[in-house]
Amino acid sequence: MASSSVYSTRFKVGAVIVLAMAVTLFALAIRGFDDGGDDPVLQGGDAAVVEALLPRRNAQVPQQTNVGIDLVVGWEGTLIVDGVEIPPDELQVTPEIGLIEFTPGEGKTVEALDAGQNCVSALIWRSEDGRGVDDRTVPWCFDVV
Q: What are 57-103's pLDDT values in tens digits?
A: 999 999 889 999 999 999 999 999 999 999 999 999 999 999 999 99
Choose the weakest-confidence range: 16-25, 32-41, 117-126.
32-41
pTM over 0.75: no
- Give residue 30's pLDDT: 53
Work out the average pLDDT over 94-122: 95
Work out the average pLDDT over 4-8: 79
Mean pLDDT for the chain? 86
Domain regions of the chain by residue span: 40-144
For the structural domain made of 40-144, what CATH number should be given? 2.60.40.1220
Single out the residue of 61, 28, 58, 65 nearest to residue 40, CA to CA.
58
- Pick 132 or 33 by higher pLDDT: 132
Work out the average pLDDT over 3-31: 76
